[in-house]
Structure 1
Amino acid sequence: MTSLQIVGRRSSHFTRIARLFAEELGVSYEIAPIYDMTAQDAAIYANNPALKLPILRVGDDVVFGTENICRALADRAQKSTAVVWPEQLRSNVSRNAQELVWHCMNSQVQIVFGTVVCKLPGDNLYFDKARLGFAGALAWLDAHVSEALHALPAARQLSLFEASLFCMIEHLHFRKTLPVEQYSNLEAFRQSYATRLSAQRTAYEFDVPPGG
């Protein structure tokens, strides 16, 4: 047992970003799975009152949210790693790209949770608009990803933008919410980033409850 836990799901792109950072930064951790996302008890979410994942738990201390967890992991890292955070993005295209990555990730949660988990009608305007905005954001990212990547500082080993972009695109292969193969620039980035050891160690899978 390690003292550091990432409470979340191996099938979650938000959780995967945190896991990828831990792998890149050389921080030992264990996964504490949340098996049922319909659960409404905050204790299941490491007492996150928002009932959201992931959560970083170190003893009695908890950190809520993917970006906060990544920063906390960087603080705990024993090795020095050049990390680029969102506030270091200096071009509008990079800032917009990060915003649209978060939008895509939230949209996919909205669609999957609504139509797959809650089994709500997928043709509702709520989901139609989510899919339309999701597709529009993907098209924009595909058209601008090269410029956004080029604008990142050259002397970097890790960036939240690249990690989140990779996890988002990979999740579209894992949870086929929208077709992604048509976005050739995003696919090229995904395939390149997938060669990193951290990506290979954090592949998506569904957590199976004990005895399940």
Structure 2
Amino acid sequence: MTPRLVMTPRSHFSRKVRLLADGLGIALELVDAGNVADADPALFGPNPLMKVPTLIDGDRVVLDSDHIAAWLVRTRDPSDRFGVLTQDPDVLNARAVMNGMMAAEVELVLAARTGLDIAHPRFDKMRSAIDAGLDWLEQRAALFGEEPNYLGLHLVALWDHLALYGLAALDRPRLAARADALTTLAWVSASRPA
């Protein structure tokens, strides 16, 4: 049975899972949850937080993009070709920074989508965190390596989402070069959000 991924096409959290699955040749049935600002729990499958992504693999439900990635690797790619299961603190810190940036960006996008004024000071810290995160990652761009890996796929998902919504200046040349190099791969560019 093909695992189902409850997701949205523009979700960067969903996309990093999709990129990993595509890179590993793991078929997923994509279930579009629709507008993630919607409060209808039925749209989000069995996820009590009403967020995407959620993986339904037989009778197993897996929440959170990084947990889903680890599940897919443990069950379908024991050699861990993309380094999902790494314990390297530097790589895990980079993932944490990107996840925090992505969460801040989601807050900004959903606030604007639901009619909140994102010029409010509450959102200034989120924009500052995104910029600081980009600077931090730019200084550590060597972590992303030359070959496709989960950290790089995570970067592409973040980078393309930032470009789509225009919430940060993408004037970080080392990060841009890494994201651009990965985007030349057909299986990476195929899921780029429109």
**Aligned-partner Cα distance in 2 for 1:97–1:126:** 25
Alignment-derived partner of residue 101 in structure 1? 98
Question: How many pairs are equivalent?
Answer: 194
**Aligned-partner Cα distance in 2 for 1:124–1:113:** 14
**Aligned-partner Cα distance in 1 for 2:36–2:95:** 26
Find runs of 4+ consecutive structure 1 residues off by over 6 angstroms.
none
Q: Is the partner of 2:116 in helix, strand or coil?
A: coil
Check conservation: 1:7, 1:54, Cα contact below 8 A: yes
Unaligned 5+ segments in structure 1 are 206-212
Amino acid in the other structure paired with 2:22: E
Higher RCO, 1 or 2 (CA under 8 Å, sep at least 6)?
1
Amino acid in the other structure paired with 1:196: L
Check conservation: 1:26, 1:77, Cα contact below 8 A: no
**Aligned-partner Cα distance in 2 for 1:80–1:177:** 37
Amino acid in the other structure paired with 1:141: L
Alignment-derived partner of residue 208 in structure 1? none
Alignment-derived partner of residue 153 in structure 2? 163
Check conservation: 1:15, 1:66, Cα contact below 8 A: yes
Alignment-derived partner of residue 56 in structure 1? 55
- TM-score under structure 1 normalisation? 0.82
Q: Is the partner of 2:6 in helix, strand or coil?
A: strand
**Aligned-partner Cα distance in 1 for 2:3–2:68:** 11
**Aligned-partner Cα distance in 2 for 1:130–1:73:** 31
Alignment-derived partner of residue 72 in structure 2? 73
Q: Describe the shift of the 1:143–1:58 C-alpha distance in structure 2 as closer, same or farther (beyond 3 A).
A: same
Check conservation: 2:83, 2:150, Cα contact below 8 A: yes
Instruction: Tell which deviates more after alignment, 9-18 or 136-145.
Output: 136-145
Match of 2:144 among 137, 140, 149: 149
Alignment-derived partner of residue 137 in structure 1? 133
Check conservation: 1:83, 1:158, Cα contact below 8 A: yes
**Aligned-partner Cα distance in 2 for 1:96–1:70:** 17
Match of 1:188 among 177, 190, 194: 177
Identity %: 23
RMSD over equivalenced CA pairs, Å: 2.1
Check conservation: 1:82, 1:158, Cα contact below 8 A: no
Alignment-derived partner of residue 5 in structure 2? 6
Alignment-derived partner of residue 210 in structure 1? none
- CA shift for structure 1 position 158: 5.0
Is the radius of gyration larger for structure 1 or structure 2? 1
- CA shift for structure 1 position 131: 0.4
Q: Is the partner of 2:158 in helix, strand or coil?
A: helix
